[in-house]
């Protein structure tokens, strides 16, 4: 392995691929020949692999060979590629497999004609989507051959400044440059300053997936002390928030947030990459992510027949006080406005049913009780007769398990149902309605009492609940 006779110094900001092109020309050897001198052992190099060099050189090149043959320090090789960027944000992924830069690195050549007229050097920054201005000459970068008007694929480029399609040399000064406004120039200065910081590895920080997601949530939440789901939902779709939460909580393995997505989030909140890397998230915020998860999990209705089944935040918290139920101390109380099931949380913060309809549903899902005696039913349900009668009325009014429970002698009449609803809206107590003379029996009353519409009316009146509009 011999060193090149002419070893060039790498220019500030120059891409490694640019230096290899220049070194090949200076030493009078073909670009592909030099690439094959620098490649990893047993790796078969093609011209189409050249775009990988600036992303992560080690994926195709032997860095020690590059260092020796070209006369570069390994730190210079890293700064001439996106290696430091990947190491800061790759998480637990290997750099060679990391998809963090997907969608942000160009496969077409962008360049400044005025820069190339001074020296045939390609800047690494020009490969970044979103970078469209030369800060030296304060003008837009070109993205095509000025002669044949073809866009220039990097993998097709064999020589800097020469169009691979028409062989036109575009290293002459641009006589018709597109100038940029002061505001755009300031924006580009901020963007490129951010990239300069992470490309050169000026902040020695490596974040894993979980840390990245936590910081993103912290930024989107306005850097509040605790996590607020509703605040972030004004910026993100629910599915994207769930995805971020899963990464932040460690329940989704090896999922890196790509740079484009990260950049969009930070732009939304006017936060730079430098700020993001140096950021210190309050411990209380991180803790609130898990406590919020518990809250989300316990506020979903557990009734399989209910429209709110497994729907987060579908339960409404009611007046709460510590209550002992058998051997358990129950804390916060909840109710589902759709099905009327009542819940509370125990010492382990687990949701337990205070009513008895869900357990009855499990029983009726597995057997019929229509032929059992009352004593046998009490044994099956673990409840007294008066509660079993309520269970039968509850499910009969929903047309559930009709063949598995005693058939009711009564049916719900629309006029009477409306009369009950109006009475509840007018503030009449359920106790009073229960003793109306028009009821032919307790069984008929219960059929209306546990009807879904009546349950919702009681809920609205009791908790002054207003349903969402639209």
What digits encode the pLDDT tens for the residues 58-102?
Answer: 988 999 999 999 999 999 999 999 999 988 887 666 665 556 787
Provide the pLDDT confidence category of residue 468 given band limits of 50, 70 and 90.
very low
CA distances from 228 to 297, 300, 389 (A): 15, 18, 43
Two tokens, residue 309: 């089944």
CA distances from 15 to 55, 82, 273, 371 (A): 10, 9, 21, 83
Residues 6+ apart with CB under 8 A from 362: none
Question: Could you give the CA distance from residue 33 to residue 434 in angstroms, rounded to a whole number?
Answer: 94
Position 263 scores a pLDDT of: 87
pLDDT over threshold 50, residue 260: yes
Position 368 scores a pLDDT of: 87
Let me know how many helices (H) and strands (E) the chain has, helices first: 21, 8
Question: Could you give the CA distance from residue 278 to residue 172 in angstroms, rounded to a whole number?
Answer: 42
Give the mean pLDDT of 29-40.
90
Give the mean pLDDT of 135-159.
90
Two tokens, residue 92: 């637990």
Q: Are strands 351-353 and 342-345 parallel, antiparallel or unpaired?
A: antiparallel
Give the mean pLDDT of 121-144.
94
Strands, sheet with 351-353, edge to edge from the N-terminal-most edge strand: 316-318, 333-335, 342-345, 351-353
pLDDT over threshold 90, residue 247: no
Lowest mean pLDDT across 6-10, 338-342, 405-409: 405-409
pLDDT over threshold 50, residue 414: yes
Residues 6+ apart with CB under 8 A from 105: 54, 55, 82, 127, 128, 129
Residues 6+ apart with CB under 8 A from 69: 1, 2, 3, 4, 37, 38
pLDDT tens track for 272-293: 999 999 999 999 899 888 765 5
pLDDT over threshold 90, residue 175: no
pLDDT over threshold 60, residue 322: no
pLDDT over threshold 70, residue 327: no
Question: Could you give the CA distance from residue 220 to residue 273 in angstroms, rounded to a whole number?
Answer: 14
Provide the pLDDT confidence category of residue 253 given band limits of 50, 70 and 90.
low
CA distances from 8 to 20, 81, 83, 316 (A): 9, 17, 21, 71
Residue 61 dihedral angles phi and psi, to the nearest 5°: -110, 155
pLDDT over threshold 50, residue 467: no
- Mean pLDDT across the chain, nearest whole number? 86
pLDDT over threshold 60, residue 326: no
Residues 6+ apart with CB under 8 A from 20: 31, 34, 35, 38, 53, 70
Position 22 scores a pLDDT of: 94
Coil vs helix vs strand at 121: coil
Q: What does the DSSP assignment read for 188-214?
A: HHHHHHHHHHHHTT-S-----HHHHHH
pLDDT over threshold 50, residue 466: no
Position 470 scores a pLDDT of: 31
């Amino acid at each position: 392995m011999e060193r090149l006779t002419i070893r060039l110094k790498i220019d500030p900001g120059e891409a490694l691929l640019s230096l290899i092109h220049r070194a090949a020309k200076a030493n009078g050897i073909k670009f592909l020949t030099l690439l094959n001198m620098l490649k990893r052992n047993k790796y078969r190099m093609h011209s189409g692999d050249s775009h990988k060099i600036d992303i992560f050189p080690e994926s195709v090149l032997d860095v020690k060979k590059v260092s020796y043959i070209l006369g570069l320090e390994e730190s210079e090789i890293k700064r001439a590629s996106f290696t430091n960027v990947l190491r800061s944000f790759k998480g637990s992924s290997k750099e060679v497999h990391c998809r963090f830069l997907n969608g942000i690195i160009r496969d077409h050549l962008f360049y400044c004609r005025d820069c190339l007229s001074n020296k045939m050097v390609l800047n690494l920054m020009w490969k970044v989507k979103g970078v469209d201005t030369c800060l030296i000459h304060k003008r837009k970068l070109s993205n095509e051959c000025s002669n044949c008007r073809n866009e220039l694929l990097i993998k097709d480029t064999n020589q800097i400044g020469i169009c691979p399609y028409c062989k036109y040399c575009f290293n002459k000064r641009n006589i018709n440059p597109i100038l940029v406004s002061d505001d755009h120039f300031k924006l580009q200065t901020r963007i490129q300053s951010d990239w300069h910081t992470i490309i050169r590895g000026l902040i020695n920080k490596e974040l894993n997936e979980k840390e990245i997601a936590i910081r993103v949530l912290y930024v989107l939440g306005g850097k509040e002390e605790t996590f607020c789901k509703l605040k972030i939902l004004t910026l993100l779709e629910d599915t994207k928030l769930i995805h971020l939460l899963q990464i932040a909580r460690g329940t989704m393995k090896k999922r890196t947030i790509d740079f484009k997505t990260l950049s969009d989030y930070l732009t939304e909140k006017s936060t730079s990459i430098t700020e993001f890397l140096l950021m210190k998230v309050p411990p209380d915020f991180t803790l609130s992510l898990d406590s919020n998860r518990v809250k989300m999990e316990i506020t979903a209705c557990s009734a399989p027949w209910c429209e709110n089944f497994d729907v987060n935040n579908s339960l409404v918290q009611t007046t709460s006080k510590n209550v002992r139920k058998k051997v358990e101390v129950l804390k916060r109380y909840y109710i589902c406005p759709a099905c009327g099931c009542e819940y509370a949380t125990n010492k382990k913060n687990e949701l337990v049913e205070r009513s008895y309809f869900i357990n009855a549903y499990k029983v009726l899902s597995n057997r019929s009780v229509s032929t059992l005696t009352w004593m046998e039913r009490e044994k099956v349900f673990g409840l007294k007769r008066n509660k079993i009668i309520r269970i039968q009325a509850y499910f009969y009014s929903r047309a559930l398990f009709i063949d598995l429970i005693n058939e009711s002698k009564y049916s719900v009449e629309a006029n009477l149902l409306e009369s009950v609803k109006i009475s509840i809206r007018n503030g009449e107590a359920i106790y009073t309605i229960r003793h109306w003379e028009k009821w032919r029996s307790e069984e008929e009353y219960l059929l209306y009492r546990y009807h879904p519409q009546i349950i919702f009316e009681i809920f609205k009146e009791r908790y002054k609940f207003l349903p969402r509009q639209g």
